[in-house]
């Protein structure tokens, strides 16, 4: 007999799939699963934004999803159930899909994932995913096509890869409370793969001038808040590298008419948590870590448990106090989480305190890294 959580997840997936069929892709409302409170919109008319790191299930995680589906297909929803209460309550929730979709679970080449992963992300409460990563071309143009088709089927918005030139030039704009939020997505590299012939627009490649031009175009198109997702950094290193710090300073310093062109930078790719920092008055998350991974190894080919640690970033934005002003971050939070290899579950470490010394140690280690560049003095706190 299907339990109530699974009924809720299936109902939400069906609702999102129906929404995907319509042409208006701007999200006005999100259905809330039974048993959870409605999203809390600040009294000021602001909104909350939640962002997660790399979703890139390794073979062991895919095997867990197959087990949770009773050996018939793949069900990633139980894997994400532990963070669903936080994700689903946000006004806007963003993920980073750092893998491409295979054919009904077949690993077509490189690192590919079953299409059912998109269903789980939607059922968990995510609204959109950045898709520009070094893995974006693991199966060429066909992999991009399958991935974006899978996201479209469940109503998840996406930015960073494209099936057509026109799609590459289309802004990903979403509603969050009273605000309209643009999500842009870029990657530093594509693992040495070549862009598909005649498709230079297939993957958003990280270039400072391009990022700023796109951010300004998003603002002109009506974006109140511009969020830039960047796949960058040095794998396995908890300190941001020079490229990250230099680019963060330059991007956050850019202004048009006295107003910053970018309102939030979200970093992925390092595969372990990195610091949060306020740079030129704008929050930068150098590395969110991997929300879903599996056995991860360091450069010495030794298993590295940090590869399954990550954070959910949560920012509460408030509207400007004057026309044409900036939406400000009134509250900045991080929520430590861990992908439990044995259980095949993403664990909210705050909720798991008291359930084992390993969880406590992981939470404390994540906290120390996240705050390592002085973000606490600018108001960053560990959220519940």
Using the structure block, give the residue that is written with the tokens 């993403």.
346
Using the structure block, give the residue that is written with the tokens 């799939």.
17
Q: Note the pLDDT of residue 111.
A: 74
Q: Given its phi and psi angles, is residue 98 left (phi above 0), alpha (psi -120 to 50 degrees) or beta?
A: alpha
User: Residue ranges of the chain with pLDDT lower than 70?
Assistant: 1-44, 104-110, 299
Residues 336/382, Cβ–Cβ less than 8 Å: yes
Q: Which residues, listed in sequence order, are joined to residue 185 by a DSSP beta bridge? A: 229
CATH 3.60.21.10 fits 4-22+32-382, yes or no: yes
Q: Note the pLDDT of residue 303.
A: 77
Q: Note the pLDDT of residue 282.
A: 98
Q: Note the pLDDT of residue 43.
A: 46
Read off the pLDDT of residues 331-345 as tens digits, 9 standing for 90 and up: 999 999 999 999 999
Give dist(CA 289, CA 12) in Å, integer: 27
Between the CA of residue 24 and those of 119, 184, 199, 379, what are the distances in Å? 20, 19, 26, 37
Upper half-sphere CA count for residue 205 (Cβ side, 13 Å)? 12
Structure tokens at 36: 């959870």
Read off the pLDDT of residues 254-309 as tens digits, 9 standing for 90 and up: 999 999 999 999 999 999 999 999 999 999 999 999 999 988 777 677 778 888 99
Comparing CA positions, the residue from 93, 297, 288 lying closest to residue 183 is 93
Q: Note the pLDDT of residue 318.
A: 97
Residues 288/51, Cβ–Cβ less than 8 Å: yes
| Strand, helix or coil for residue 221 | coil
Helices (H), ranges, the chain? 4-20, 59-68, 77-80, 84-89, 116-124, 140-153, 165-168, 208-220, 242-253, 349-352, 357-370
Give dist(CA 19, CA 209) in Å, integer: 35
Question: Hey, where are the domains in the chain?
Answer: 4-22+32-382
Using the structure block, give the residue that is written with the tokens 């109503």.
155
């Amino acid at each position: 007999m299907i339990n109530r959580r699974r009924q809720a997840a299936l109902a939400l997936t069906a609702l999102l799939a129906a929404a995907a069929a319509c042409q208006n892709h701007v999200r006005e409302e999100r259905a809330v699963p039974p048993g959870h409170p409605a999203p809390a919109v600040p009294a000021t008319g602001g909104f909350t934004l939640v962002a997660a790191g790399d979703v890139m299930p390794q073979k062991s995680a895919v095997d867990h999803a197959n087990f949770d589906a009773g050996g018939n297909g793949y069900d990633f929803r139980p894997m994400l159930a532990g963070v669903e209460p936080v994700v689903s309550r946000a006004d806007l929730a963003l993920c980073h899909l750092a893998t491409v979709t295979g054919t009904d679970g077949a690993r077509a080449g490189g690192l590919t994932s079953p299409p059912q992963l998109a269903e789980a992300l939607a059922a968990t409460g995510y609204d959109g995913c950045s898709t520009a990563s070094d893995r974006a071309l693991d199966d060429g143009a066909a992999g991009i096509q399958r991935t974006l088709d899978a996201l479209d089927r469940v109503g998840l918005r996406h930015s960073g890869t494209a099936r057509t030139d026109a799609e590459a030039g289309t802004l990903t704009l979403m509603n969050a409370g009273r605000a309209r939020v643009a999500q842009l997505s870029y990657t530093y590299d594509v693992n040495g793969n070549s862009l598909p012939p005649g498709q230079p627009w297939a993957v958003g490649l990280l270039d400072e001038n391009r990022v700023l031009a796109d951010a300004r175009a998003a603002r002109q198109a009506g974006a109140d808040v511009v969020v830039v997702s960047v796949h960058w950094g040095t794998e396995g290193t908890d300190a941001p590298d020079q490229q990250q710090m230099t680019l963060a300073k330059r991007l956050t310093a850019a202004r048009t008419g006295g107003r910053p062109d970018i309102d939030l930078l979200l970093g992925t790719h390092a595969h372990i948590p990195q610091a949060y920092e306020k740079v030129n008055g704008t929050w930068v998350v150098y590395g969110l870590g991997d929300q879903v991974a599996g056995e991860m190894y360091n450069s010495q080919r030794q298993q590295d448990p940090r590869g399954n640690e990550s954070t959910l970033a949560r920012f509460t934005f408030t509207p400007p106090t004057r026309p044409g002003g900036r939406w400000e971050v009134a509250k900045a939070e991080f929520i430590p989480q861990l992908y439990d290899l044995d259980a095949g579950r993403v664990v909210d470490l705050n909720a798991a305190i008291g359930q084992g010394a390993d969880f406590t140690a992981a939470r404390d280690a994540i906290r120390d890294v996240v705050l390592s560049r002085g973000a606490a003095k600018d108001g960053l706190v560990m959220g519940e």
